[in-house]
Amino acid sequence: MDVLSNLIRYLLVFPLLAIIAWVLSFSPPVVFALSILGLIPLASLIGDATEVLAYHAGPKVGSLLNATFGTIVSLILLFALLRSGQTEIVKASIVGSILMSLIVIVGLSQLLGGLKNGIQRFDREMVGIAASMMMLAVTGLLLPTLLGFVHQIEFHKIISTSFQEPALITLSRLIAIILLAIYGLQVIFQFRQPSKVEEEMIEATASIEGSKWSIRQATGLLVAATLGVAIVSEILSGSMEPFGQSMGLSPLFLGLIVLPLAGTFSDILVGVRMALRNDLELSLSIASNSAMQDALFVAPLLALISSLVGQEMTLYFGIFQVLALLLAVSSVIVISSDGVSNWMEGVQLLAFYLMIALWFYFLVPASF
């Protein structure tokens, strides 16, 4: 267990502090900050427990476990926000999580792995498959976005992703079903034919925390951490709006840049670890799996179940958000096309993410 793992364990005090701050009615910025910090170690525990269970279950069941629990933190958090009516933040957070996976995890892995190991190589075919799946997912978000955008212009309405009409809702639901079907088929494919990279990922990530955890211990930690995420997510959803107002941050910026840190932090740690061990291919696999789960599973699932909680959510994500996704996927394809990586490519990706973050910061005023 390295220094970062020990640090994550110390952060487990923050979920308790978040609950105390909420009960004692501390200021929204304090409650929000403690909640975000509290989700990070809980997400890490869920990831560790899942990987240990996957290690004990073998590569086939392990792939299924990773596909099932890989997005549990994002799902719980976004569902809490959805129930509270913060639909636009939910959409922005989905886009932000994909950007975080494709740009930050890959960029940091290339940068730190390149600085330590020099030139690193990876399988271009694997990147190509992941890129094609991501382009499919982005297309699924682009089509409802174009429909909503065009219809708002035709109806002379103010351009807003909260726009709804029967055609847009129906298209979103049908495309959501298609995306979920693709994701389900991918999970079946991985279950029947787990790749060498997936087997290595299960073994490597489980060995980080030690495969000596028993199945009972890992299951208990998984259940406890999941309950913790549910509680802290409810607290965070209640403090989101007043926090944004007090800090002068727009819902779009909070969803795109701030919230994704909680759900992807553990993936960032594992991806960087693998790159430092000169296994960049495994880092890229972690990043691509995380991005695909958000795009092909989380977004369509929330769109389908949103009406059950009285908060209809379409796949109309806004032109600028989809444009950012297209730029991100294109950038990763260009940088990764030669199968060779160096630290300068990591710098380029991180600079791209910084520019995107600044763009969204200045794009819209702080309004809830």
- Domains, the chain, with CATH or none: 3-363 (1.20.1420.30)
Mean pLDDT across 239-253: 85
More confident residue, 110 or 246: 110
pLDDT band of residue 193 (cuts 50, 70, 90) is: low
* Half-sphere exposure in the Cβ direction for 247 (13 Å, CA): 19
Looking at residue 315, the DSSP 8-state letter turns out to be S
The pLDDT value given to residue 1: 44
Annotate 162-175 with b (16+ C-beta within 10 A) or e (fewer): ebebeebbebbbeb
H or E segment to which residue 120 belongs = strand 120-121
pLDDT band of residue 120 (cuts 50, 70, 90) is: confident
pLDDT band of residue 298 (cuts 50, 70, 90) is: very high
The pLDDT value given to residue 367: 46
Give the model confidence (pLDDT) of 205-222 as tens digits.
555 455 557 788 888 988
Question: Quick check: helix, strand or coil at residue 364?
Answer: coil
The pLDDT value given to residue 82: 92
Mean pLDDT across 307-330: 88
The pLDDT value given to residue 368: 46
The pLDDT value given to residue 16: 93
Contact 94, 291 (CB under 8 A): no
Q: Which residues pair with 305 in a beta bridge?
A: none
- Interatomic CA distance for residues 48 and 208, integer angstroms: 9
Matching residue, tokens 């309405």:
157
**Residue 200 confidence (pLDDT) above 70:** no
pTM, to two decimals: 0.87
As a whole number of angstroms, the longest Cα–Cα distance in the chain is 63
Identity of the highest mean pLDDT range in 12-26, 45-59, 335-349: 12-26
Mean pLDDT across 48-57: 77
CA angle 120, 49, 74 (to 5 degrees): 80
Mean pLDDT across 339-366: 86
**Residue 129 confidence (pLDDT) above 50:** yes
